[in-house]
Structure 1
Amino acid sequence: MSIEDTIVGDTNNSSREVADRAVDEMRAENIRSQRLQNDIIEQDKNERKDYANVLFTVTIIWLFLVLGIFISVGKGILIYSDSVIITLLTTTTANVLGLVVIVANYLFKK
């Protein structure tokens, strides 16, 4: 038995004033519940924007650092073996694509 059923049952056994007050309380509670739900949705929307911006910024910085490493290796400033360069490129690509997939799935739920 739900709370609403209990209230309705109690009001059926009470005076008209108690019944009216119970109905008013239920309406007020429904309005409060809807407002809380709207606040949660608004907060979630704002947090999604913030996290998307942070992840985008971190990804851009990471890609520029990797680009700097590749340019430095190409100019001979840094010396790394081919396996290290391949590993760096592979892991960077996997991280960027993984972040994009995770963020896209979170932002655009099916």
Structure 2
Amino acid sequence: MSIQDTIVVDANNSSREVGDRAIDEMKAESIRSQRLQNDIVEQDKNERKDYANVLFTVTIIWLFLVLGIFISVGRGILVYSDSVIITLLTTTTANVVGLVIIVANYLFKK
């Protein structure tokens, strides 16, 4: 085999090796991309749980505070007008319902 033939054969082999290496790198990048996507989904899931727990805790504390105010008003410890009590009850109900709707829509996307 002549030198020219050897160069042509080496060039052709090199091209296949380069092509094979490029395909391997593309497969590796695809796997890396999928792993990153899985990590993002996992992190999002964990954050959803954390935020749901925090919102639940804040809502429970808020409701107990409002309950304490109502019990205090009923026993005569605190004195508020009827309009203040109605406003407190209305806004508390709206806040609780609103938080539940927001969290439910975020956690359970359609």
- Segments of 5+ residues of structure 2 without an aligned counterpart are 1-13
SS at match of 1:79: coil
Q: How does 1:1-110 map to 2 (within 5 A)?
A: 15-110=15-110
Larger radius of gyration: 2
Once the two structures are superposed, what CA deviation does each residue of 1:73-93 show, in whole Å capped at 9, x if it has no partner? 000000000000000000000
- Segments of 5+ residues of structure 1 without an aligned counterpart are 1-13
Number of paired residues?
97
TM-score (norm 1): 0.87
The match for 1:4 is none
AA aligned to 1:71 is I
RMSD: 0.8
Greater relative CO, 1 or 2 (CA 8 Å, sep 6+) = 2
